[in-house]
Amino acid sequence: MNGSDESNGAVRPAAPRISMQFDHPLRQYPVAADLVVLYEIDGVAPGSVRAVERSVLWYTEGKGEEDLGVHHFERLDDAARVAEALPTGTIAVRLPASPLSYEGVVVKIRWCVRIRLFFATGRDFVSEHVFDVGDIAPALGMVERLQ
């Protein structure tokens, strides 16, 4: 689990905690499966959140610049919808056929569910949880480095 406070204020109160439950064992999903995630947000005062963003995306990791592709995105900034999304909510989406999760040497592809909270104070908090799409074996290592 990864949560971070991306505000630049000098004083930082305790960060919220977002936990997620995935509906597949070991968070491993076959291609084009339905992803259902139940999340729970703790440590957030009622009314302090002005907007919530929920997304399902893939990103690259490794030695190159990070690329990402957003598969599902929704922004809730209407008070009623924000209230519905807190403190628990569900994200349900059908996963695409590609790209598959990949554990390479200099290129890795990760899928994650990301929730970003925007506070009335101007701060924001993001939490993302990684899951796998497909069942690709990790690369065993580098055979040759090309010049």
Partner 1 sequence: MRLPRFFGKKRGHRRTGSQAWGSFGEAIFYAALVAAGACFAGLLFSGAVGIGSDATAPAWSRWWLWAFTLLIPGALLAFGLAGVARTVRAWGKSDERRAAAEGVPNLLESMGQSPGADRGHPGVPTCEDLVNSPGTILRYRLPIESPESWTLVGMGLFAVLWNAVLVVLAVGAGIDLLSGRVEWVLLAVLMPFAAVGIGGIVLFVRRLVLTTAVGTTQMEICDHPLFPGRSYDVLLAQSGSGVFRSIALTLEVEEMASFRQGTDTRTERVIVWRETVKEWTNLEITPGVRFETHVTVTIPAGAMHSFASAHNAVRWRIVVRGQPEHWPGFVRVFPLIVYPATLTRSTAAGGLTLVDEVRR
Partner 2 sequence: MSEAAPDIRAGNPFSTRSVRPGRIPPLDGTGSPLCVAEMLVGLERCGGSAALVGPHGSGKTTLLWHLADALETRGCRVERVRLHGGRGAMSLIRALIHAARGSVVCIDSWERLGWPGALAARWFAALGGLRLLVTAHRSGHLPTLWICRTSTALLAAIVERLPQAGGLPSAECEAQVADVFHQSRGDIREALFTLYDRFEDRARDRRLAGLSRP
**Chosen from partner 1, partner 2, none, partner binding at 11 (C-beta under 5 to 8 Å by type):** none
Alpha helices in 29-133 (DSSP H): 79-85
Pairing type for strands 28-29 and 124-133 reads: parallel
61 binds partner 2 (CB under 8 A): yes
Instruction: In whole angstroms, give the CA distance from residue 124 to residue 14.
Output: 13
Q: 98-137: which residues touch partner 2 (CB under 8 A)?
A: 103, 105, 108, 110, 129-132
26 binds partner 1 (CB under 8 A): no
Task: State whether residue 40 is helix, strand or coil.
Answer: strand
54 binds partner 2 (CB under 8 A): no
Among 23, 28, 44, 62, binds partner 1 (CB under 8 A): 62
CB nearer partner 2, residue 61 or residue 81: 61
Do residues 68 and 59 touch, judged by C-beta distance below 8 A? Answer: yes
Q: In Å, how far are 25, 104, 107, 117 from 31, measured between CA atoms?
A: 15, 19, 20, 29
Residues in binding contact with partner 1, number by CB under 8 A: 36
Query: Which two structure tokens, joined as six digits, stand for 26?
Result: 């070991």
Among 39, 58, 111, 119, binds partner 1 (CB under 8 A): 58
Footprint on this chain of partner 1 (rule: CB under 8 A): 31-32, 58, 60, 62-67, 69, 71, 96-100, 102, 104-107, 109, 134-137, 139-147
